[in-house]
């Protein structure tokens, strides 16, 4: 093959990074695949817009079919984002026998099963390493590096925006609103940050990780999701005093054949490696029956880190083209999806409640926990001046999530309880 011709859908932050890497690393790419790589066409909304990279106007188009229907283009790289248009474009490209690389985690979380099936039918590659954790090669590590092992747990920080916000709130005592504004000014958070701060972005990534790691058809609706918008300075101060660090943690766990997938604010013991991952960085812990614990750490977003993952996928596609083995990478799920019930999930919890500062109230609370067999690891009671109430902070031992949720419900029914202020999962043991 004389050269590989690439069509690029989108020329924003990641698309510009892809162009830079392909242009600047031609010698490296030629060495790995034996021929040059040429960007033939780039889909943009406006031809004349100022951009981070300068391309000849002849390479730019506003008509997607100049790329996805062109007989000359071998590989389509989708970095435009969005769901429905991206899905249609990729389906058309695959049916036109074009290999596809995408960085679109929303797309793969929602339509991944369909797209991979169409890719296999047409003997095309569909790679999406950049859809999870930016420049960290986590998907390839799971699919290839750990392919001989049985993964039992994946746990990590997979959203840089929320990690930046929680790092700033914890280290500087800043309010959520102030740190969010700073994150938006620095470009870490979108003008509408809902997807990040409500945990939806992380949930999509955990859907992809769980599907690959457990070889089961995990869907976005299977992920229990809770965001960071209700975390307060009091929560962070108590977590520090108890030896914990607050992080938004994505968790995918397998016990036997049953799965648990969640995204929620979690208190990590300070000695846990994930507790020291700060600012916009991502990190993912992977537990295998044979390999034990491994951790992947690096920048979770940004132009060049994400573009590096995209171009790595492009190299994999091109190597497959030279070997004539395209379309064989997608493996159908091996196991049926069986999700755990709440009574099968065992968790430690941090609970902060306000109670009436009266005789017998504390006994009521402890009696309720005892009734469901939930014991305390630690308990703190602090009078709240001038309100005739007290703040009670409880760290439980492990208990079933069903029992814990029942306790929360019954606490709210007690007249002596002024309000449940916070409840968070705890992972890791303090030493």
Residues marked active site are found at 205
Q: How far apart are CA 109 and CA 212, in angstroms?
A: 11
Give the helix/strand (H/E) hosting 275.
Answer: none
Q: How far apart are CA 340 and CA 323, in angstroms?
A: 42
DSSP 80-126: S--SHHHHHHHHHHHHTT-EEEE--HHHHHHHHHHHHHHHHHTT--E
Q: How far apart are CA 111 and CA 95, in angstroms?
A: 16
Name the burial class of residue 229, with classes exposed (0-12), middle (13-18) and buried (19+) by CB atoms within 10 angstroms of its CB: middle
Neighbouring CB atoms inside 10 A of 253's CB total 19
Q: Residues with Cβ < 8 Å from 367, sequence gap 6 or more? A: none
Q: What are the residues facing 4 on neighbouring strands?
A: 37
Neighbouring CB atoms inside 10 A of 172's CB total 11
Name the burial class of residue 89, with classes exposed (0-12), middle (13-18) and buried (19+) by CB atoms within 10 angstroms of its CB: buried
Q: Give per-residue burial for 259-283: e unless 16+ CB within 10 Å, then b.
A: bbbbbbbbbbbbebebbebbebbbb
DSSP 307-320: HHHHHHHHHHHHHH
């Amino acid at each position: 093959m004389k050269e590989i011709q690439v069509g690029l859908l989108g020329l924003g932050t990641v698309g510009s990074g892809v162009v830079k890497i392909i242009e600047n690393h031609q010698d490296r790419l030629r060495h790995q695949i034996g021929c040059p790589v040429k960007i033939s066409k780039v889909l943009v909304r406006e031809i004349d817009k100022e951009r981070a990279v300068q391309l000849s106007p002849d390479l730019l188009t506003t008509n997607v079919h100049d790329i996805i229907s062109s007989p000359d283009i071998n590989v389509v790289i989708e970095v435009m984002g969005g769901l429905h248009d991206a899905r249609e474009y990729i389906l058309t490209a695959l049916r036109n026998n074009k290999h596809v690389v995408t960085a679109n985690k929303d797309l793969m979380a929602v339509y991944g099963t369909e797209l991979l099936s169409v890719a296999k039918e047409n003997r095309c590659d569909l790679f999406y390493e950049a859809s999870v954790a930016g420049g960290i090669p986590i998907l390839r590590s799971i699919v290839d590096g750990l392919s001989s092992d049985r993964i039992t747990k994946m746990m990590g920080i997979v959203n840089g925006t929320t990690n930046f916000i929680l790092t700033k709130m914890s280290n500087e005592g800043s309010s959520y609103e102030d740190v969010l504004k700073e994150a938006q000014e620095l470009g870490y958070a979108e003008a509408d940050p809902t997807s990040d701060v409500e945990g939806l972005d992380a949930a999509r990534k955990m859907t992809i990780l769980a599907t690959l790691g457990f070889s089961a058809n995990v869907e976005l609706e299977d992920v229990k999701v809770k965001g960071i918008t209700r975390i307060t300075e009091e929560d962070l101060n108590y977590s520090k005093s108890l030896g914990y660090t607050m992080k938004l943690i994505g968790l995918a766990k397998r016990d036997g054949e049953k799965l648990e997938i969640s995204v929620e604010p979690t208190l990590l013991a300070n000695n846990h490696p994930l507790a020291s991952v700060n600012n916009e960085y991502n990190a993912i812990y992977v537990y295998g029956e044979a390999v034990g614990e491994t951790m992947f750490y690096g920048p979770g977003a940004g132009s060049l880190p994400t573009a590096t993952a995209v171009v790595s996928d492009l190299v994999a596609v091109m190597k497959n083209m030279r070997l004539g083995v395209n379309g064989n990478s997608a493996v159908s799920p091996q196991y049926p999806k069986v999700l755990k019930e709440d009574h099968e999930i065992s968790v430690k919890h941090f609970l902060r409640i306000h109670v009436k500062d009266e005789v017998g109230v504390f006994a009521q609370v402890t009696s309720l926990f005892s009734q469901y067999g939930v014991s305390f690891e630690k308990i703190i009671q602090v009078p709240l001046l001038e309100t005739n109430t007290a703040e009670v902070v409880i760290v439980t031992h492990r208990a079933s999530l069903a029992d814990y949720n029942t306790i929360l419900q019954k606490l709210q029914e007690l007249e002596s309880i002024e309000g449940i202020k916070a409840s968070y999962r705890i992972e890791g043991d303090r030493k």
